[in-house]
Amino acid sequence: MKINTEFLDKYNKVGPRYTSYPPATSFHNKFTNEEFIPAVIKSNSEYPENISIYIHIPFCPQLCYFCGCNTTKFESAAKIRRYIDCVLKEIDTVAQHIDKSRKVTQIHWGGGTPNSINYDFIEEIMLKIKSHFIINADAEIAIECSPAYLDMEHIDRLAKIGFNRMSLGIQDFSAEVLNAINRKPSKHPIAEVAQRIRENNFVGFNFDLVYGLPLQTLESFKVNIQRAIELSPDRIVTFSYAHVPWVNALQEKMTMHKMPSPEEKINMLIMAYEMLTQNGYIAIGMDHFAKPTDQLAIAKENKTLHRNFQGYCTRETTGQVYAFGTSSITQLWGAYAQNLKNLHQYMDAIELNGLAIDRGYSMSVEETVIREVINELMCNGYLDFDAMAIRLKTTAENIKQITTYEPSKLEQFIADGLVEINNNIIKVSADGMMVVRNIAMTFDPNLTVQTSQFSKTV
Ligand SMILES: C[S@@+](CC[C@H](N)C(=O)[O-])C[C@H]1O[C@@H](n2cnc3c(N)ncnc32)[C@H](O)[C@@H]1O
Ligand code: SF4
């Protein structure tokens, strides 16, 4: 079947994004600090052995109207100092329970805008991490940066601190669109920023673009994609604007401008997909594109792509994620734990106990199986029940039973040429990857669609 508006419309249903399984909406507040520490201790003997660290910096000098992340308007220098002290204390508290022989293969700084705080603070936290953990020589150490606050010397400093990957939030190159979303443009020409990142020998950098923003048209988004291709980052991410006003009420402010219709959004997605794949980028899932030499593209080829809340990663780099900072989510084999979202409550809790767990989730064995199946489909578009059975030390039959697998549930996808079943192997076609969330939903026996909690799949 050809990818067109009619096709995507057919599959454009409300559903989870599966950035985690179960989705973060299932976390509950019976999971507290008391459940967290035993879960961390248990994680030392669980899979994967590697450690991923996430540091959340919630501060942004200016809040963009479209943003769906946990952010807070820039605070005074003293407040930021207090926050950094809390993150340092939290790392001390958790690290004492983590086996010292385990290695860190991934560190990710997100936000908010981590590059908007004093760089001495960034270095202080990195030194703290190094004081507790062994960092693998080829660890991926990444930071999300808004180019509005990024100077050339900052890039040099980040390289010295040890960062080797940068994610640049472009969103849109046009001044009008940025103005409509209350966002400052890049401080320096992006071409110069890209050049400086290359001079500092970063392993790679990516651009985040968003489609579905106010004033965007198919033509204007095409210009964005063209511009991104010319600047040649290793990865380009094209996020579909998620309208979640219950998370960020500021989103309502954008409706005074003309917003692209659902049909225009779908056409933007198709156009971006075609332009990027025709210009040498490999599609990784629905919204990520990477050069063929990039680790993600190689992992996709080898069917070893993986995913956590920080985005795609490879099965080699990914570890169980230990997250620090307000709202951050720790992702262990057997449990999830999210910190308090409110900045002040987070800091008060850390100062009192060194921990600030607000809610979480303990996984049953069945749920870990469903999660692996859904991840495998979402990331690699490929499921070999027998290989998965070996990995999970169980049987293919047991996996099928737990995921309530029935070939008949995939009939529609097979008829549209999106899925192929060959004995115990399920393959999702390149077109099928555009609607892979819908395919994954058929393997989720616990799915109860609550329209208020999820955005549409496309
Ligand atoms: C924490 S932000 C990036 C770092 C930095 N604060 C910036 O804006 O450049 C992570 C990315 O999430 C994406 N994002 C944020 N809100 C979104 C929304 N409502 N829908 C889709 N993508 C969104 C943006 O592309 C953004 O670059
Ligand atoms: S998009 Fe980035 S800079 Fe804008 S509010 Fe969200 S986190 Fe802050």
Q: Is residue 312 part of a domain?
A: yes
Q: Please report the DSSP string for 344-401 in residue order.
A: HHHHHHHHHHS--EEEEEEPPHHHHHHHHHHHHHHHHSEEEHHHHHHHTTS-HHHHHH
Task: Encode pLDDT of 261-270 as tens digits.
Answer: 988 998 999 9
Alpha-carbon distance 206 to 237, whole Å? 7
Alpha-carbon distance 318 to 305, whole Å? 10
Residue 60 beta carbon below 6 angstroms from any ligand 2 atom: yes
Please count the structural domains in the chain: 2
Question: Across residues 358-366, what is the average pLDDT?
Answer: 96
Residue 242 beta carbon below 6 angstroms from any ligand 1 atom: yes
Which-ligand-closest: CA of 288? 1
Q: Is residue 449 part of a domain?
A: no
The verdict on 175 and 248 lying in the same domain is yes
Q: Is residue 10 part of a domain?
A: no
Quick one: which atom of ligand 2 is closest to the CA of 66? 1
Quick one: which atom of ligand 2 is closest to the CA of 116? 3
The verdict on 187 and 57 lying in the same domain is yes
Going from the Cα of 385 to the center of ligand 2, the distance in angstroms, rounded, reads: 40
Does residue 455 carry a pLDDT above 70?
Answer: no
Residue 142 beta carbon below 6 angstroms from any ligand 1 atom: no
Sorted by sequence, the CB contacts under 8 Å of residue 286 that are 6+ apart come out as: 269, 433, 434, 436, 437
Q: Is residue 1 part of a domain?
A: no
The verdict on 301 and 383 lying in the same domain is no
The CATH number of the domain holding residue 59 is 3.80.30.20
Going from the Cα of 33 to the center of ligand 2, the distance in angstroms, rounded, reads: 29
Going from the Cα of 442 to the center of ligand 2, the distance in angstroms, rounded, reads: 34
The CATH number of the domain holding residue 397 is 1.10.10.920
Which-ligand-closest: CA of 309? 1
Q: Which of 362, 377, 392 lies at the terminal end of a domain, its last residue?
A: 362
Residue 111 beta carbon below 6 angstroms from any ligand 2 atom: yes
Going from the Cα of 89 to the center of ligand 1, the distance in angstroms, rounded, reads: 28
The verdict on 336 and 385 lying in the same domain is no
Q: Which pLDDT band, with edges at 50, 70 and 90, does 1 fall under? A: very low
Site to probe by mutation for ligand 1, drawn from 171, 221, 251, 288 as the one with most ligand atoms within 8 Å of Cβ, is: 171
Q: What percent of the chain has pLDDT over 70?
A: 97
Residue 58 beta carbon below 6 angstroms from any ligand 2 atom: no
Alpha-carbon distance 240 to 85, whole Å? 35
* Residue with CA nearest ligand 2 atom 1: 67
Which-ligand-closest: CA of 110? 1
Question: Across residues 312-336, what is the average pLDDT?
Answer: 92
The verdict on 311 and 433 lying in the same domain is no
| Residue linked to tokens 């971006």 | 272
Question: Across residues 67-94, what is the average pLDDT?
Answer: 93
Alpha-carbon distance 450 to 446, whole Å? 12
Q: Is residue 17 part of a domain?
A: no
Residue 113 beta carbon below 6 angstroms from any ligand 2 atom: yes
The pLDDT value given to residue 434: 83
Task: Encode pLDDT of 395-444 as tens digits.
Answer: 999 999 999 999 999 999 999 999 999 999 999 998 898 889 999 999 99
Domain that holds residue 142: 22-362
Identify whether the C-beta of residue 117 lies closer than 8 Å to the C-beta of residue 59.
yes
Going from the Cα of 248 to the center of ligand 2, the distance in angstroms, rounded, reads: 11
The verdict on 245 and 339 lying in the same domain is yes
Going from the Cα of 142 to the center of ligand 2, the distance in angstroms, rounded, reads: 17
The verdict on 99 and 145 lying in the same domain is yes
The verdict on 342 and 405 lying in the same domain is no
Question: Across residues 126-146, what is the average pLDDT?
Answer: 97
Output the six-digit token pair for 321: 């994620």
Task: Residue 387: name the closest of 366, 373, 375 by CA.
Answer: 373
Residue 71 beta carbon below 6 angstroms from any ligand 2 atom: yes
Which-ligand-closest: CA of 62? 2
Going from the Cα of 238 to the center of ligand 2, the distance in angstroms, rounded, reads: 16
Q: Is residue 451 part of a domain?
A: no
Describe the crossing of helices 218-231 and 190-199 by its angle, rounded to 10 degrees: 30
Alpha-carbon distance 396 to 351, whole Å? 48
Q: Is residue 458 part of a domain?
A: no
Question: Across residues 71-80, what is the average pLDDT?
Answer: 89
The verdict on 372 and 297 lying in the same domain is no
Q: Is the pTM of this model over 0.75?
A: yes
Question: Across residues 7-11, what is the average pLDDT?
Answer: 77
The verdict on 343 and 372 lying in the same domain is no
The verdict on 58 and 102 lying in the same domain is yes
Mean pLDDT over each residue of the chain, to the nearest integer: 93
The pLDDT value given to residue 362: 97
Going from the Cα of 291 to the center of ligand 2, the distance in angstroms, rounded, reads: 26
- The backbone torsions φ and ψ at residue 62, rounded to the nearest 5 degrees and listed phi first, read -145, 135
Residue 113 beta carbon below 6 angstroms from any ligand 1 atom: yes
Say which range, 167-171, 213-217, 435-439, has the weakest mean pLDDT: 435-439
